[in-house]
Amino acid sequence: MRIARLLTLSAVTFATPAFTAPPAKPSMTKPAETKSPEPPSTSLEAETRAWHQKRVANLTAEDGWLSLVGLHWLEEGDNRLGSAADNDFIFPAGTPAHIGTLTRKGSQVTFTLQPGVTVTRGGQPFSGGTVGTREGPEDILGLGPLRFYLIPRGDKLGLRVKNPEAPARKQFHGIPTWPVSAAWRIEGRFEPAASPRKLAVPTVLGTVEDMNSPGTLVFQVNGQEYRLDPVLESESGPFFVIFGDQTNRTESYGAGRFLYVDPPKDGRVVLDFNRAYNPPCAFSPYATCPLPPAQNRLKLSVEAGEKRYGDH
């Protein structure tokens, strides 16, 4: 799974989740180059800009993270949805007052529609019945411009709602970033785990997810060694790193950032912090995000990649 599967309780707000970054100190470790950043090569800058343009395009797509307008957690039994105030899940104005009822029995959910309400599933007319929880295209329900689907999170089942007309999407104004710097494209080594292991990853939901971790990424900044434990989203894909650093809260998003690292070649890896990016929770209160494990909170100011978005 992409970490999107972890990626909020409706009660989660833009206030930073439980992760508390260490306060900035004058003595914090920084690369010497951060005062006068090492200029990137033309190719590095061009590649980074192209990568960031694609990242922003995905974020702002009609069904991207900025289209989130709701997240509701199903109770056992009946859960009524619609725009009227007497529903369990209140949908946006303009939708039918009473759309129907989602009935949960353990991990199984059925959808009973109100007469006259037209809904699609996987783009095809849907008159009601079992609703899947795989988050695939075939499980996405449609009602006018709205798209909504079930997301399993541990023993919880949520109903995620998206709208391409969401204010967050319409009012998006770009993500500030640090200048691209060759100093933050760092070669390191990979120390594989001696045996298969799980990494306990906290989330904004207050839960802990056990994720497969292949080993440890080891790198140096100004002669000081640092270590990060990545997780795997698939057996053959890149390593996924959830990390915090001493720019959190002040210059970058308070709950940390994400970074993908290509699998090692001959035991070597490249950590390009110019591609460190904000999690969905930096943009929406309706996302469910992982937080940095304790060992991934760097005592280092990583002045590269994306900065804070707005007040988040």
pLDDT recorded at residue 310: 81
Report yes or no: 174 and 56 within 8 Å, Cβ to Cβ.
yes
Sign of CA dihedral 246, 247, 250, 252: negative
pLDDT recorded at residue 18: 38
What mean pLDDT is predicted for residues 89-100? Answer: 96
For residue 289, give the nearest of 257, 248, 244, 250 by alpha carbon. Answer: 257
Q: Which domains does the chain have, with CATH numbers?
A: 3-60+173-296 (no CATH), 65-170 (2.60.200.20)
Lowest-confidence pick of 221-230, 281-290, 303-312: 303-312
Q: Say if residue 211 is exposed, middle or buried (CB neighbours under 10 Å; 0-12, 13-18, 19+).
A: buried
pLDDT recorded at residue 312: 60
Q: Where are the beta strands (DSSP E) in 58-207?
A: 68-73, 77-82, 89-90, 100-105, 108-113, 119-121, 124-126, 129-130, 141-143, 146-153, 156-162, 185-202
pLDDT recorded at residue 37: 61
What mean pLDDT is predicted for residues 221-243? Answer: 96
pLDDT recorded at residue 30: 47
Sheet holding 231-232, edge to edge: 231-232, 239-243, 257-261
**What's the pLDDT tens digit per position in 264-303?**
999 999 999 999 999 999 999 999 999 999 999 999 999 9
pLDDT recorded at residue 89: 98
Per the prediction, the chain carries an average pLDDT of 89
pLDDT recorded at residue 14: 34
What mean pLDDT is predicted for residues 230-241? Answer: 94
Which residue in the block uniquely carries the two structure tokens 């500030």? 176
**What's the pLDDT tens digit per position in 155-189?**
899 999 999 999 999 999 999 999 999 999 999 99
| Percent of the chain whose predicted confidence (pLDDT) is above 90 | 81
Whether residue 118 has pLDDT greater than 60: yes
pLDDT recorded at residue 41: 73
What mean pLDDT is predicted for residues 191-210? Answer: 94
**What's the pLDDT tens digit per position in 133-142?**
877 889 999 9
Q: How far is CA 261 from CA 184, 238, 302, in A?
A: 13, 6, 16
pLDDT recorded at residue 208: 93
**What's the pLDDT tens digit per position in 6-56?**
543 333 333 334 333 444 444 444 444 444 566 667 899 999 999 999 999
What mean pLDDT is predicted for residues 83-91? Answer: 98
pLDDT recorded at residue 186: 98
Please report which confidence band the pLDDT of residue 235 belongs to, taking 50, 70 and 90 as the band edges.
Answer: confident
What mean pLDDT is predicted for residues 59-73? Answer: 97
